[in-house]
Structure 1
């Protein structure tokens, strides 16, 4: 699968977001024409029409960039609280650039604070005319698609940059020691970094900085591994063994990194071999310390046990095309999700592997390659998916179609919803507006918050119909 971001340029755009059935609307300059619900993959944008974000679909929506486009990023665990539901929010991230010239690349370590938003009911209570006016004022969106609390200030963006040799194919922060990150470079090197000084400086500062003007520091990585025979994209830290890492390359090799102290590793030069083509993604088991999974361009998923040697413990023909991404469910560890180059994604129950058919759900909604997939850290049945069709979708596998409930909802909200009748009932939310979506992550400490990166920058979003089912501090 081609991973690079073509023609990387900084860009602004209007966001297009949606609730289930898509809450984006299409309108043109003729006042008499009605606003209608946008149907992704069905409707065409006619001349003079444009998509506009429906701010009522989000509790929060913000857009930003750090200069060059980023193919990969990771949310950095912080010490601000394990479960945070009250606005404003603060997030820390690391991201790697895809610059026009190799020498211009960097890793960005950034903090965004004062992230504003609001809580909304799925079906708003009836309001008087005065209340309706107030609600309308407080939910206006600015040109970056930002949903704000009435009168609240814009988020504060702080950025520090570290020089990186070559483009960053993927970057991951260690969950146990979040100041440690591993990066995969298109030069074929895997490097481990200590960003503690940068994160500490960001934590102590409240001064906003320019995205493009930040000084780039030249920092030596803790480790620079040159044992891979090609570049790669697959890399994952163990959630159970602090510092344990696996990295996979485009020549089908997987290497195991074992920590010997906080800043040194023994890297096994004898690789795990079992795929016939590029290893695209790796995921450690959330419950078994010695087990990880891999997926490949060969269409297979392999499950490995590092105690049993360098061959897979199990191999599954998962898709009819490249398997691009994996996600192992942290709340239901028997469930493994995978996304393919043909736009399909599947859910497997690993307990059924011995029976031959472990697929418990298979979706063909997206028509272009799946670029990222991740289970929610707060809801065992919920996962998010991004695709090259410029859609980020959220799915709840526990949902079933209830025609009476749908009719009642439409009657209460008086919406003329013209969504296709064959939409999967598990499709909870569709977010649009980003070009060439590459990666998404849930925030493990802020229920309902998603972040995504694309050719034209980052989005932070909190769909209004997701957080309602999550823990709340509101009393």
Structure 2
């Protein structure tokens, strides 16, 4: 089935439009009431008030779903260009469902094409007088959907492959994107070859994808049942094609090595070093034998596969469950971690021997952090999703600059009551999705983030996130 992706028309998405943490906006249904900044977890809607999306804060914003909610998804690397900056965009994904009955689950392989949007300047090039501003504002309100989406409607083309039980996590191999690994709540880790489905989607120019309304029965290349429980931790090596690690809820981590053909050898002896469930895994961007893990026991462990089945280093990272980690591929000494208490930290691994690796710690979110990922294009930027229904983007290189902030507000003639206590590193706040689960930056489209939640997917490109790279490619 082909689904048209409509721009969000309900006034539910919140955002933050400046670098210095302006927060989201809410507006009253009474025209005379001024626009106010909405502070999630602090403010409450009064009678007659509603939250509204400010479309000018996005270069592109689209929402879609593929049926059942998806706890996990991954962006599939394609051959359309390494750095793509011009609309419309086309992207490929794999996602695993959380269906009501185990037999109803599937892995969706899908293409979203004609993703439209606009580029905007962060500040106006010329100041406008009050009359012009009022006129422009009125026009903007009338065609806000067109401003966010541009011309045309994005199209979703979908193919489904049956999966035993719910999909806890799914990851596509970077070097061979048609190869994907899935972690199921049945306790099995499976590896799939989706080349036929991706090829069919790539070749299809029609508005109907063959087989999208049905579910393909396809056998996995490998089905591993050696874990003692289900799990969520899964990561392909960025340096060794086909090398994989999987971790379960019984604290065990297994190493997968590719062999000749489409087969893998899974080491039956697990890596043991955590006292509780292994929640996430990340390979080092520079050391092919090194990976990191995090756990419900509050620790992060660093492993070297050449040194046996115990951690090379382990340290207390948070006071509660460490749900997710992300290894920075541009600043490879930095590791980010997100906690069940809503906090997230940045660790400098060069400081491990000194006993305290934390170089930054944030307590903005008040509910569990569900996903965290460094930008593939900006070393100081990362995105975080939380169970508080917020997706936040942070630039750790920012510091509060009173003069710059005043100048920006003067240029934009900003009239909102921006909170003063937001961290200066908070670059953007996106809301409107219920129970956010996972996010990913698109490695080939600078500035694009995709997120999944209980009510479907969002593709967003905030207007204050760099969407082009310097001319030298740095």
Give TM class, smaller chain: over 0.9
Using the TM superposition, give the Cα deviation of residue 209 of structure 1 relative to its aligned residue in structure 2, in angstroms: 4.5
Instruction: Say which is worse superposed, 46-55 or 265-274, in terms of deviation.
Output: 46-55
- Where 2:411 maps in the other structure, the secondary structure is helix
Q: What is the CA–CA distance in structure 2 between the aligned matches of 1:24 and 1:432, rounded to whole Å?
A: 8
- 1:430 maps to what in 2? 429
- Where 2:47 maps in the other structure, the secondary structure is coil
Q: What is the CA–CA distance in structure 2 between the aligned matches of 1:220 and 1:419, rounded to whole Å?
A: 54
Using the TM superposition, give the Cα deviation of residue 208 of structure 1 relative to its aligned residue in structure 2, in angstroms: 3.3
What's the C-alpha RMSD, in Å, of the aligned pairs?
A: 2.2
Contact 1:22/1:40 (8 A) holds in 2: no
Do structure 1's residue 362 and structure 2's residue 366 form an aligned pair? no
Q: What is the CA–CA distance in structure 1 between the aligned matches of 2:264 and 2:209, rounded to whole Å?
A: 36
Contact 1:105/1:165 (8 A) holds in 2: yes
- CA gap 1:14/1:205 in 2 versus in 1, 3 angstroms: farther
Within-5 A mapping of 1:313-462:
313-462=312-461
Contact 1:85/1:472 (8 A) holds in 2: no
- CA gap 1:274/1:407 in 2 versus in 1, 3 angstroms: same
Contact 2:159/2:209 (8 A) holds in 1: no
Q: What is the CA–CA distance in structure 2 between the aligned matches of 1:29 and 1:213, rounded to whole Å?
A: 42
Using the TM superposition, give the Cα deviation of residue 49 of structure 1 relative to its aligned residue in structure 2, in angstroms: 1.8
- CA gap 1:423/1:137 in 2 versus in 1, 3 angstroms: closer
Using the TM superposition, give the Cα deviation of residue 231 of structure 1 relative to its aligned residue in structure 2, in angstroms: 0.3
Q: What is the CA–CA distance in structure 2 between the aligned matches of 1:409 and 1:13, rounded to whole Å?
A: 29
CA deviation string 1:367-392 (max 9, x = no partner):
10000000000000000000001000
- 1:235 maps to what in 2? 234
Q: What is the CA–CA distance in structure 2 between the aligned matches of 1:446 and 1:44, rounded to whole Å?
A: 36
Do structure 1's residue 250 and structure 2's residue 254 form an aligned pair? no
Instruction: Say which is worse superposed, 464-473 or 325-334, in terms of deviation.
Output: 464-473
Q: What is the CA–CA distance in structure 2 between the aligned matches of 1:307 and 1:139, rounded to whole Å?
A: 59
- 1:132 maps to what in 2? 136
CA deviation string 1:257-284 (max 9, x = no partner):
0000341000001000000000000000
Using the TM superposition, give the Cα deviation of residue 15 of structure 1 relative to its aligned residue in structure 2, in angstroms: 3.8
Q: What is the CA–CA distance in structure 2 between the aligned matches of 1:411 and 1:139, rounded to whole Å?
A: 25
Q: What is the CA–CA distance in structure 2 between the aligned matches of 1:468 and 1:333, rounded to whole Å?
A: 22
- CA gap 1:176/1:54 in 2 versus in 1, 3 angstroms: same
- 2:52 maps to what in 1? 52
Instruction: Say which is worse superposed, 301-310 or 11-20, in terms of deviation.
Output: 11-20
Q: What is the CA–CA distance in structure 2 between the aligned matches of 1:109 and 1:53, rounded to whole Å?
A: 30
Within-5 A mapping of 1:174-253:
174-209=173-208, 214-253=213-252
- 1:141 maps to what in 2? 145
- Where 1:293 maps in the other structure, the secondary structure is strand
Contact 2:107/2:161 (8 A) holds in 1: yes
Contact 2:190/2:221 (8 A) holds in 1: yes
Contact 1:171/1:183 (8 A) holds in 2: yes
Contact 1:158/1:207 (8 A) holds in 2: no
- CA gap 1:241/1:134 in 2 versus in 1, 3 angstroms: farther
Q: What is the CA–CA distance in structure 2 between the aligned matches of 1:31 and 1:117, rounded to whole Å?
A: 29
Using the TM superposition, give the Cα deviation of residue 238 of structure 1 relative to its aligned residue in structure 2, in angstroms: 0.1
Within-5 A mapping of 1:109-120:
109-120=109-120
Using the TM superposition, give the Cα deviation of residue 296 of structure 1 relative to its aligned residue in structure 2, in angstroms: 0.1
Using the TM superposition, give the Cα deviation of residue 134 of structure 1 relative to its aligned residue in structure 2, in angstroms: 10
Using the TM superposition, give the Cα deviation of residue 38 of structure 1 relative to its aligned residue in structure 2, in angstroms: 1.6
Contact 1:97/1:168 (8 A) holds in 2: yes
Contact 1:184/1:191 (8 A) holds in 2: yes
TM-score calculated relative to the size of structure 2: 0.92
Within-5 A mapping of 1:83-162:
83-126=83-126, 129=132, 132=136, 136=140, 140-141=144-145, 147-149=148-150, 152-162=151-161
Q: What is the CA–CA distance in structure 2 between the aligned matches of 1:308 and 1:225, rounded to whole Å?
A: 24
TM-score calculated relative to the size of structure 1: 0.92
Q: What is the CA–CA distance in structure 2 between the aligned matches of 1:139 and 1:192, rounded to whole Å?
A: 46
Q: What is the CA–CA distance in structure 1 between the aligned matches of 2:423 and 2:382, rounded to whole Å?
A: 14
What 5-or-longer segments of structure 2 have no aligned partner?
1-7
CA deviation string 1:114-146 (max 9, x = no partner):
10011111102336849937972795127xxx8
- CA gap 1:221/1:467 in 2 versus in 1, 3 angstroms: same
Do structure 1's residue 37 and structure 2's residue 37 form an aligned pair? yes
CA deviation string 1:314-368 (max 9, x = no partner):
0010000000000000001100000000001000110111111111100001110
- Where 1:16 maps in the other structure, the secondary structure is coil
Using the TM superposition, give the Cα deviation of residue 471 of structure 1 relative to its aligned residue in structure 2, in angstroms: 4.0
What 5-or-longer segments of structure 1 have no aligned partner?
1-10
- Where 2:306 maps in the other structure, the secondary structure is helix
Using the TM superposition, give the Cα deviation of residue 213 of structure 1 relative to its aligned residue in structure 2, in angstroms: 6.4
CA deviation string 1:45-104 (max 9, x = no partner):
123321111011111000000000000000000000000001000010000000111111
Do structure 1's residue 464 and structure 2's residue 463 form an aligned pair? yes
Deviant stretches of 4+, over 3 Å: 11-15, 20-24, 126-135, 208-213, 468-473
- 1:16 maps to what in 2? 13
Q: What is the CA–CA distance in structure 2 between the aligned matches of 1:113 and 1:134, rounded to whole Å?
A: 31
Contact 1:281/1:326 (8 A) holds in 2: yes
Contact 1:390/1:435 (8 A) holds in 2: yes
Q: What is the CA–CA distance in structure 1 between the aligned matches of 2:60 and 2:367, rounded to whole Å?
A: 27
Q: What is the CA–CA distance in structure 2 between the aligned matches of 1:133 and 1:247, rounded to whole Å?
A: 51
